[in-house]
Structure 1
Amino acid sequence: MRVLLSTIGTRGEVQPMVALAMALRELGQEARLCVPPDFRDWVEGLGFPVVPIGPELRPTASAAPRVQTPPTPEQRRRMIEGTVAVQFATIPAAAEGCDVIVAGGAMSMAAHSVAERLGIGYVYVSYCPVTLPSPHHAPVPVWGQAPVPVWGQAPADATAGNRALWAEDARRWNGTVGAAINAHRAAAGLAPVADIRGHLFTDRPWLAADPTLGPWPEPADIGVVQTGAWILPDRRPLPPELERFLDDGEPPVCVGFGSVRAPRDIARTTVAAARALGRRVIVLRGWAGLSPADDGPDCLPVDEVDQQALFPRVAAVVHHGGAGTTTAAALAGAPQVVVPQLYDQHYWARRVGDLGIGIAHPPAAPTAESLAEALGRVLHPDVAARAASVAGEARTDGAEVAAQRLIDGA
């Protein structure tokens, strides 16, 4: 079997696909990836062919402005038309000779049409329960970052039932991307689709989230297949400088925002908060280029490292609430302070609080005082004990489960 794994997104969307690719290879199958060019060298270094798609995304993770404004309708239209055109131009060649396309994330807008034209299988995967329709939760409001187009206005009537909100969400999909997708379908000789969201998600989407951290609510309107999170095994050793820092005192606090934008001065604010509690800090620079205010011996900025090796050795993790970071910290048994910025991050922040393995920072911009208060709470021994307990409940076999389902034709 030859599988194309395609996604438009940052590391949080790409890394699970790489995990699935590795699981497929372990089972004797072939995988290739269609991902943004930022990840080409990394993925090819793991031995997988890559077809780059779209522009580089790293520049979008520069420091966020104090006030983020949504794109205008005209800007949104141009972004949508651009990303749809790029996908319809790139994915057909990437999918040649494949038996199935697995498309990750809501911005994967051409993969199903390409699979239909080639007469091959198609699977849509989400990494968070609230991004899929259910009467048990409302659609996720989002403000977008270029070059990713999103609409995401908060519902006008927040008291309406979730079914009504999801119906409005479906209409928004049709009104926002329907014309662009159907124009390319017509050019490919395909019939138009009336329900764009249903076409992209299908009536049996996969959910690559851990059932303890992000359970799918039942009963549901659609038949979701929850495989568990797709976790990429990482066996890189920690850098010697980081090892020495970890060995030179009690477990430090770790702050990082991965490949997304970060609140202004979040690293400096976290350092000040940790110092107020007598704690050292590791700053994961990430795409936003986080850095502490000084080069004091109690702070260590580092580039990308193996979170699976680092997180079990820290006292707490301050992060943005991406699915991958939340899962990695939970598996490590590390208490969490989540400072969500957008989209599904607010869901993961709530789940961390609901599970008792950390807290969500209030919506206001973090200050040294607010982060010190949050860290003081999660550094309590009861939270650490609860985090260790949940770590024992979480699963690590999601990618293997998904790979076997693909082979079995499920």
Structure 2
Amino acid sequence: MRVLLSTYGSRGDVEPLAGLAVRLREQGAQVRVCAPPDEDFARRLADVGVPLVPVGPSARALTRAAPSPSSLPERAARLIAGQLGPVTEAAEGCDLLVATGALPAAAGALSVAEKLGIPSVSVTFQQLTLPAPHRRPLAYPGRPLPPEVTDHQALWELDAQNVNALFREALDTNRASLGLPPVDDVRAYVVGDRPWLASDPFLDPWHGTADLDVVQTGAWILPDTRPLPAGLMAFLDAGAPPVYVGFGSMPLHAAADMARVAVEAVRAQGRRVVLARGWAELSPGGDLDDCFEVGEVNQQALFARVAAVVHHGGAGTTTTAARAGAAQVVVPQVADQPYWAGRVAELGIGAAHDGPAPTVASLSAALRTALAPGTRARATAVAGRVRTDGASVAARLLLDGATSGRQNHRPGGYDRCSPLTGIASPAGTTAARC
């Protein structure tokens, strides 16, 4: 069995695929990953022996460029076009394609699978892109949702219109180059009737809808066995557990001020700091005895050694901190991050900062909540509820579903396979036996 995993996005879009790839390979599959050509992505995949097929421009460079919202359709067109050649070449001879990441990139990868007649599955790592009547959709840059509209169904219909306005022309143009028909509803094409949700069911519970039969596997986590650097170990051993501060793949254009605020706020609680540079290149601006800077590091091991984790609220970081039993302070920046901040606060395992730009006073207040004994106790309890087998479950379902060939209907001319897996096969192929 040959499986292609395709994504375009930040570290949080690539890391789960490394976890899934390892589990697929353990079950006898051959796996490769299409992802942005960033050096840290290639290095992480190489660590686990998974080949990277570079696709599109550097995700880090694109993120740091901070283009205007009005350029989103143009960027989407380039992103989709950049998918077609590399993904098509990588998918030749594959038995299955898994698509995730930025919506236009996923649409491009699914179109390749459609063209080649390869079964496919669409995956999201958080539920906010799945239409649900109990909550509002996320707003796209430059297209705010009208505050006076409170009906969620109406807002989801508006979301579909926004997605079409932003991405349909680019998608249809590129599909035409493959000899494929246009798509009426881009979001429905990508999501399908039975999408996969690769998030932890305790941290991110799916409440269900009549229209979607969601397959929630649990988060795709790759156990990290890398040792912590000797200097970091010495710092951790030299005193009480410090506070970790890191914002992952967020650009943070006021990064210098964020680093200063973070260090001062942690100091105000009598704690030392482990500061992760990340894509924002956070740095305290000097050699400080109570602050240790890290780059790429084993977060699973590190989070088990800290008093609290201050972060941006990415799905992966939130889940890793929760698994480690670490209290959290989430300072959300964009997209789904306010949702994860809210979940941390609702579960009582940390604090949700109000807004993306903390002051020393506001971050200190959030840290007092996170460092309280009761918060740590709840974080320890929740750690036992977070599943660790999501990637294994997904690998088994993918391979079992690909060999069973059982299908149900999917929008966009596709047929879905068994209720268990949700793998999609293009209608009319030998796998599409309804």
Q: TM-score, normalised by structure 2?
A: 0.88
Structure 2 counterpart of 1:49: 51
Unaligned runs of 5+ in 2: 402-420, 422-434
Counterpart in the other structure of 2:113: 115
- Once the two structures are TM-superposed, the CA of residue 120 in structure 1 deviates from its matched residue by 1.1
Say whether residues 1:8 and 2:4 are aligned partners: no
**Other-structure match for 1:77:** 73
> 1:364 Cα deviation (Å)?
5.8
Match of 1:147 in 2: none
Amino acid at match of 1:298: D
The whole-number CA distance in structure 2 between the counterparts of 1:363 and 1:97 is 47
For residues 172-187 of structure 1, the aligned pairs below 5 Å read 172-187=162-177
**Residues 376-401 of structure 1: CA distance to partner in whole angstroms, max 9, x if unpaired?**
11100000000001001110110000
Instruction: Indicate if the aligned counterparts of 2:219 and 2:390 stay in contact, CA closer than 8 A.
Output: yes
Superposition map of 1:227-376 within 5 A? 227-262=217-252, 263-264=254-255, 265-363=257-355, 365-376=357-368
| SS of 2:223 mapped into structure 1 | coil
Q: Counterparts of 1:214 and 1:332 in 2: how far apart (Å)?
A: 17
Partner of 2:404: none
Tell me the CA shift for residue 220 of structure 1: 4.3
Instruction: Please say if 1:129 is aligned against 2:121.
Output: no
Distance across 2 between alignment mates of 1:109 and 1:71: 20
Tell me the distance in 2 between the aligned counterparts of 1:158 and 1:32.
46
**Within the alignment, does 1:95 sit opposite 2:91 as a pair?**
yes
Amino acid at match of 1:53: V
CA contact (8 A) 1:5 1:32 kept: yes
Structure 1: which 5+ runs fail to align?
A: 144-150
- Over the aligned positions, Cα root-mean-square deviation in angstroms equals 1.6
Give the aligned residue type for 1:21. A
Question: Conserved in 2, the CA contact under 8 Å of 1:61 and 1:288?
Answer: no
User: Please, which of 154, 159, 163 is the counterpart of residue 153 of structure 2?
Assistant: 163
1:45: how far off? 4.1
SS of 1:164's partner is helix
Q: 1:266 to 1:60 in 2, by over 3 A?
A: farther
Deviation at 1:174, TM superposition (A): 1.7
Residues 247 and 311 in structure 2, CA contact (< 8 A), matched pair in contact too: yes
The CA deviation at 1:69 is 8.0
TM-score, with structure 1 as normaliser: 0.93
Distance 1:60 1:388 in 2: 37
Alpha-carbon displacement from aligned partner over 1:76-134 (angstroms, at most 9, x marks no partner): 23212111111123211110111111011224221111111111111000011112111
Could you list the structure 1 runs, at least 4 aligned residues long, displaced by more than 3 angstroms after superposition.
none
Q: Deviations over 1:277-299 (max 9, x none)?
A: 11100001112111114322111
Q: Report how many residues are paired.
A: 396
Measure the CA separation in 2 of the matches of 1:323 and 1:273. 24
User: Counterpart of 2:408?
Assistant: none
Distance 1:228 1:169 in 2: 26
Q: Tell me the amino acid that sits aligned with residue 95 of structure 2.
A: D
Deviations 1:346-395 (A, max 9, x none): 11011000110011101262111111111011100000000001001110
| SS in structure 1 at match of 2:377 | helix
